[in-house]
């Protein structure tokens, strides 16, 4: 896999044992800003639901247990404990105490944007693999955002279709 740089996004989708991984590029500037991660999480959630509603798709329900796993993954990427990737995706979704039929994940990171949540959502919508997850037959989601001292913002959104 090619090395990843700030402004990239990745997606993973699993139904049964069929993962999908797609990478897309976004351009970032070099300024550093401090962000309130919970405000960014809320922004991603609202933007994704607005997009789904504009396509006559049902809103996703935000779930604290899914959000917890998304936050852990974003934090681990921001701290360099895991690479920017879907490493541990199966373990993350299996750690969520919900019964589900399918799961997917979008991840992004960027640096230097005034609104990193919006940049991530735009990048995901402009990418067929990410968009497939956003428009997928899911009913629950969790979003986690973490930042680091370099000003990088890591975003993880996990989607589930519960039984």
Output the six-digit token pair for 74.
């974003």
Question: What is residue 10's predicted lDDT score, i.e. its pLDDT?
Answer: 47
Question: What is residue 72's predicted lDDT score, i.e. its pLDDT?
Answer: 98
Predicted model pTM: 0.82
The answer to whether the beta carbons of residues 92 and 73 sit under 8 Å apart is yes
CA distance 139 to 86: 21
- What residues contact residue 110 under an 8 Å CB cut-off, 6+ apart? 6, 7, 26, 28, 116, 119, 120, 152, 153
CA distance 153 to 114: 11
Domain 37-162 carries which CATH code?
A: 3.40.33.10
Question: What is residue 44's predicted lDDT score, i.e. its pLDDT?
Answer: 98
Which helix H or strand E contains 23, and what residues bound it?
strand 21-25
The answer to whether the beta carbons of residues 45 and 158 sit under 8 Å apart is no
CA distance 26 to 143: 20
CA distance 148 to 71: 13
Question: What is residue 4's predicted lDDT score, i.e. its pLDDT?
Answer: 35
Which ranges of the chain have pLDDT less than 50? Answer: 1-11, 13-33
């Amino acid at each position: 896999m090619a090395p990843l740089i700030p402004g990239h996004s990745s997606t993973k989708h699993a139904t049964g044992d069929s993962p999908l991984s797609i990478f897309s590029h976004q351009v970032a500037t070099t300024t550093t800003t401090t962000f309130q991660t919970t405000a960014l999480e809320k922004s991603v959630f609202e933007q994704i639901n607005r997009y789904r509603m504009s396509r006559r798709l049902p809103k996703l329900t935000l779930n604290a247990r899914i959000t917890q796993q998304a936050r852990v993954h974003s934090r681990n990427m921001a701290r360099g404990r895991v690479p920017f990737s879907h490493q541990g995706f199966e373990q993350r979704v299996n750690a969520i105490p919900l019964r589900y039929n399918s799961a997917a994940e979008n991840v992004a990171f960027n640096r230097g944007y005034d609104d990193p949540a919006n940049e991530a959502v735009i990048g995901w919508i402009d990418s067929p693999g990410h968009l497939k997850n956003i428009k997928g037959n899911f009913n629950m989601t969790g979003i986690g955002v973490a930042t680091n001292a370099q000003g990088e913002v890591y975003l993880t959104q996990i989607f589930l279709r519960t039984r």
